[in-house]
């Protein structure tokens, strides 16, 4: 097992890792739309926040030796299911291989952001 950590994505805000690699797979923690340099929430719309989430995920995947194209499963969390279509527009630009996915609305996300995404991918 290998712990993944990169300064190009936000540091964990709790007792967890950005990702873990084991048996040729990477399991990312959920990424929210934080600027890795400042810790500030990026964007006020779900589209803007989703773009930052995808950038953060891309950096974690890269640090683990993987990529969006190698994703096999994603789990997406939305603060409002009414944002589903707008979120999908951004998501679809990155996960072109169409991995398996769950997408749910939740009552509250960390720092009251609008979306969070985690990924399981091959190395």
Report how far residue 99's alpha carbon sits from residue 19's, in angstroms, rounded to the nearest whole number: 18
Q: Give the three-class secondary structure for 59.
A: helix
Q: Is 76 a catalytic residue?
A: no
Q: Which residues of 43-81 are buried (b: 16+ CB within 10 A; e: fewer)?
A: beebeebbbbbbbbbbbbbebbebbbebbeebbbbbbee
**Short-list 45, 54, 30, CA closest to 86:** 45
Choosing from 20, 25, 86, 103, the catalytic residue is 103
Which residues are tagged catalytic?
Answer: 103
């Amino acid at each position: 097992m290998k712990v993944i950590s990169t300064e190009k994505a936000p540091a964990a805000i709790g007792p967890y890792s950005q990702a873990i690699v084991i048996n040729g797979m990477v399991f990312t923690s959920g990424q929210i739309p934080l600027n890795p340099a400042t810790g500030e929430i990026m964007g006020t719309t779900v589209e803007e926040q989703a773009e930052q989430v995808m950038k953060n995920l891309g950096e974690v995947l890269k640090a683990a030796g993987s990529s969006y194209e190698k994703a096999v499963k994603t789990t997406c969390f939305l603060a409002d299911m009414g944002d589903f279509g707008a979120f999908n527009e951004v998501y679809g630009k990155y996960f072109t291989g169409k991995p398996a996915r769950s997408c749910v609305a939740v009552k509250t996300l960390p720092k009251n952001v609008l979306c969070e995404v985690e990924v399981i991918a091959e190395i």
